[in-house]
Structure 1
Amino acid sequence: MYRFLLTPRWWGINVFVLLAIPFCIFMGSWQLGRFEDRVHDHRTAQAAASTAETEPARPLAAMLPVTTQTSGKQTTAKGRYGKQLLVPDRELDGRSGYYVLTLLRVDGGKALPVVRGWLPGTADAAKAPAPPAGEVTVTGALQASESPGSNGVSAAGGLPAGQTAAISAASLVNLVPYTPYDAWITLDKADAGMKAVPPAAPDNTGLDLKAFQNLGYTGEWFVFAGFVLFMWFRLLRREVEFVRDAELGLLPEAEGTPGTPEEPSDSEDAGSTPSTPSAAS
């Protein structure tokens, strides 16, 4: 009854199933691993944030490059403030406002972007306090460069002069006359009446919608594997039923049903004359 499994058609079906199910399981396991990595990074970031305030600030050079372990940690740098920029469309405590970003020129000709504080309303250079003069020592939470789409950062262009959409070396290098670090800090205590900006979680470490998308994809891939197996059993059952019906002679014939006398054709009716009994002599 199962000899049909050796036909070329069923060889193709079986090979497809044998390849599709492991592939779906692999992809589902990979997506689950991505979600577990996000959970681990989220816990690591929370643990780092809880210990950041108690740990002493370390020099900037010892904290670079920024990683998930150093992001949010306290660092210190010494230099002189230079060019100042505004970062519009930033929310704090449910209110819209802007960051006051000032470049701190340090030894070696590079500059460290420093968010000195936040002000409410529309970005206005006249309302932003001027940075302190002379050499200063700053202490704040270290942050990785922003990228468009992360942490709500807009990629909008065409901003007025003196403003930037993202705090990143790629954006600032065209706006300032010195080489910026691929990192920035937010001061623990804001300058001149501004509100301090709390450090943000590193990119791809929070349990956001993207993280739960990985979990949703995990379920989808496992559902795909079950669907492939279900369809294989369904096709197998239909094929078995077809073979059984054929063996029992329950399938309709191509030209009429067996045992049913064929109706005479029109030609036969026209060419034959019914016989009449002869009269008895």
Structure 2
Amino acid sequence: MYRFLLTRQWVILTLLTLVLIPTMVELGFWQLHRHQHRVAQNSLISQNLKADPVPVARITSPGHTVPRADYWRAVTATGTFDTAHEVVVRRRTSDDDRIGFHVLTPLDLKGGGTVLVNRGWIPTAASQQTFPKVPAAPRGEVTVAGRLKADETTGSSGIKDLAGLPDRQVMLINSSQQSQLLSRPVLGGYIEQTSPEPTDGTPEPIASPDDSSIGPHMAYAVQWWLFAAGVPVGWVILVRREKRDRLEAVKQAAAQDEAAEQPEPATAWKAAETTSRTYRSA
């Protein structure tokens, strides 16, 4: 009855079904893990942004790798901006998705040491080879508040670190690279400045990270699991339909054979008449 399952097309279909079920289940768990990661990240952002600011030198040092637990930590730093060694970071977007630069300025700390400060976004110059017009940083001693961020790498950011860039232009915000250019130690990570705010609105301050949206990952996980449950159901429906079609085909063939074996009415009458004549002659 189910011997058709051994045919080539049904073997392929069954194997495909067996592959799809665990694949879809795994995709569902992948989306679930992304959802859990997003929820944990939102919690971390909220916790660190609401925490009391601490001096940046207290939680990082030269060569230090900022741990994930300190991402977006509210920090302060007091010192003097070193605008002579200011650089711009290429291919950065504003809050409304315009392409431009981030302004990266070293801050020489009052107690010694240097920390990088991302002062915000500015538009590109007329030419990519030209250093853009950068709004002046505050002069004299200043206290900067902001969010602590980890050094960028190609692996963590997906941004390729290009060589041969114009003078004072970089692709990544990386304390080790800037330490080599400055020829002095630089604290690991950098500060994403939130205050003091620029008087004329430029550089444009970087918006706070989103700590409320959880994205569609949980819905995608449920969707993949429903697909995984639907695959065997669909396979059973197809099998039953194939069985029904084959039974109907067998019944139709049997009916046609039976009709073919019955003599036509005219032929049967002639045969009866011939038999009757033969009998009378005898």
TM, length-normalised to structure 2: 0.60
Aligned to 2:241, which of 238, 242, 257? 238
| Alignment deviations for residues 15-34 of structure 1 (CA, whole Å, 9 cap, x no partner) | 76566434423431331231
Structure 1 residue 84 and structure 2 residue 86: aligned?
A: yes
What does residue range 148-167 of structure 1 map to in structure 2 within 5 Å? 159-167=165-173
Following TM superposition, by how much is the alpha carbon of 1:178 offset from its aligned partner in structure 2, in angstroms? Answer: 4.9
Following TM superposition, by how much is the alpha carbon of 1:184 offset from its aligned partner in structure 2, in angstroms? Answer: 0.6
Instruction: Point out the more displaced range, 60-69 or 229-238.
Output: 60-69
Gaps of 5+ in 1: 264-276
CA distance in 2, matches of 1:220, 1:170: 44
Gaps of 5+ in 2: 264-276
- The answer to whether the 8 Å contact 1:41/1:68 transfers is no
Following TM superposition, by how much is the alpha carbon of 1:83 offset from its aligned partner in structure 2, in angstroms? Answer: 1.9
Aligned to 2:190, which of 184, 202, 212? 184
Aligned to 1:197, which of 205, 208, 214? 205
| Alignment deviations for residues 182-234 of structure 1 (CA, whole Å, 9 cap, x no partner) | 511134225887657356439xx7748xx43x346424422431331232221
| Alignment deviations for residues 68-94 of structure 1 (CA, whole Å, 9 cap, x no partner) | 432222334577746211235553689
Q: 2:39: which partner in 1?
A: 39
- Seen in structure 2, the aligned counterparts of structure 1 residues 96 and 6 have a Cα distance that, compared at 3 Å, is closer
What does residue range 1-281 of structure 1 map to in structure 2 within 5 Å? 4=2, 8=6, 17=17, 20-49=20-49, 51-52=50-51, 55-63=52-60, 65-76=65-76, 81=82, 83-87=85-89, 91=94, 98-104=101-107, 111-116=114-119, 122=125, 127-129=134-136, 139-146=145-152, 159-169=165-175, 172=178, 176-178=182-184, 180-187=186-193, 188-189=195-196, 197-198=205-206, 200-201=208-209, 207=213, 211-212=215-216, 214-215=217-218, 217-242=220-245, 244-245=247-248, 250-252=251-253, 257-261=257-261
Q: Which amino acid aligns with 1:241?
A: R
Partner SS state of residue 69, structure 2: coil
Two-structure CA RMSD over aligned residues (Å): 5.0
- Seen in structure 2, the aligned counterparts of structure 1 residues 71 and 125 have a Cα distance that, compared at 3 Å, is same
- Seen in structure 2, the aligned counterparts of structure 1 residues 252 and 125 have a Cα distance that, compared at 3 Å, is closer
CA distance in 1, matches of 2:116, 2:37: 30
Following TM superposition, by how much is the alpha carbon of 1:35 offset from its aligned partner in structure 2, in angstroms? Answer: 1.4
Q: Which amino acid aligns with 1:161?
A: D
Count of residues in correspondence between the two structures: 248
Q: 1:268: which partner in 2?
A: none
Following TM superposition, by how much is the alpha carbon of 1:126 offset from its aligned partner in structure 2, in angstroms? Answer: 6.1
Q: Which amino acid aligns with 2:148?
A: L
Q: 1:269: which partner in 2?
A: none
TM, length-normalised to structure 1: 0.60
- The answer to whether the 8 Å contact 1:38/1:206 transfers is no
Q: Which amino acid aligns with 1:166?
A: L
- Seen in structure 2, the aligned counterparts of structure 1 residues 172 and 224 have a Cα distance that, compared at 3 Å, is farther
Q: Which amino acid aligns with 1:237?
A: R
Q: Which amino acid aligns with 1:41?
A: Q
- The answer to whether the 8 Å contact 1:84/1:101 transfers is yes
Following TM superposition, by how much is the alpha carbon of 1:250 offset from its aligned partner in structure 2, in angstroms? Answer: 0.4
- Seen in structure 2, the aligned counterparts of structure 1 residues 238 and 114 have a Cα distance that, compared at 3 Å, is same
CA distance in 2, matches of 1:95, 1:261: 84
| Alignment deviations for residues 80-133 of structure 1 (CA, whole Å, 9 cap, x no partner) | 7462112355536898875432224679x9853123466677485665436757
Instruction: Point out the more displaced range, 39-48 or 70-79.
Output: 70-79
- Seen in structure 2, the aligned counterparts of structure 1 residues 171 and 258 have a Cα distance that, compared at 3 Å, is farther
